[in-house]
């Protein structure tokens, strides 16, 4: 099956590597006194200062990692995988907007809503997609 707009299969491992790499990066950064500008907006709003770069790097590494994991090809791509992918994407958008609207109404914290919006749809998509594939595989092994 022709698949456009998907990364190769091996990119999944690269993506998880990036997601895992962002954990020690942010721990080391925080240990060295870097503060997430969303938690504590700096008085100096200049871009590309040390703290801004630290925030950019960690957030971008995490978001890119999740993005690559979410949109990398499966070993065998077929129409059912495409359907599961679309369905999971729809669920991810539903959940994202549910959380987004809920937090807009009940929380007065615009900065963290942005942060939430970066990873909620991707993470929910990945979990839902993998869960459905896991269930498909399990029903297959039950039949053997």
Partner 1 sequence: MKNNIRVERAIKNITQGELAEQVGVSRQTINTIESNKYVPSTVLALKIARVFGKPLEDVFMLEEGD
- State the residues that interact with partner 1 by CB under 8 A: 1, 76, 78-81, 83, 133, 136-137, 139-140, 143
Tokens 């459905």 -> residue: 132
Residue 16 burial (10 A CB sphere; 0-12, 13-18, 19+):
middle
Nearest to partner 1 of 75, 108 (CB atom)? 75
Closest distance between partner 1 and the C-beta of residue 125, in Å? 19
Nearest to partner 1 of 44, 141 (CB atom)? 141
Nearest to partner 1 of 90, 112 (CB atom)? 90
Nearest to partner 1 of 23, 136 (CB atom)? 136
Nearest to partner 1 of 78, 109 (CB atom)? 78
Residue from 72, 80, 59 nearest 140 by CA: 80
CA quadruple 40, 42, 46, 51: dihedral sign: negative
Closest distance between partner 1 and the C-beta of residue 45, in Å? 51
Q: What is the torsion angle, in degrees rounded to the nearest 10, for the CA atoms of residue 25, residue 30, residue 31 and residue 33?
A: 130
Closest distance between partner 1 and the C-beta of residue 93, in Å? 23
Closest distance between partner 1 and the C-beta of residue 87, in Å? 12
CA quadruple 87, 93, 94, 99: dihedral sign: positive
Give the single-character DSSP code of 73. Answer: P
Closest distance between partner 1 and the C-beta of residue 80, in Å? 4
């Amino acid at each position: 099956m022709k698949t456009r707009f998907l990364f190769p299969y091996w990119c999944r491992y690269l993506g998880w590597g990036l997601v895992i790499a962002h954990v020690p990066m942010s721990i080391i950064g925080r240990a060295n006194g870097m503060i997430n500008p969303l938690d504590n907006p700096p008085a100096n709003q200049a871009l590309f200062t040390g703290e801004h770069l630290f925030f950019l790097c960690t957030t971008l590494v995490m978001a890119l990692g999740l993005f690559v994991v979410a949109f990398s090809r499966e070993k065998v791509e077929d129409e059912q995988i495409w359907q599961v992918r679309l369905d999971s994407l729809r669920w991810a958008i539903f959940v994202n907007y549910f959380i987004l609207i809920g937090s807009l109404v009940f929380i007065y914290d615009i900065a963290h809503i942005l942060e939430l919006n970066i990873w909620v749809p991707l993470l929910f998509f990945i979990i839902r997609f993998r869960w459905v594939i896991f269930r498909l595989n399990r029903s297959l092994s039950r039949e053997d």
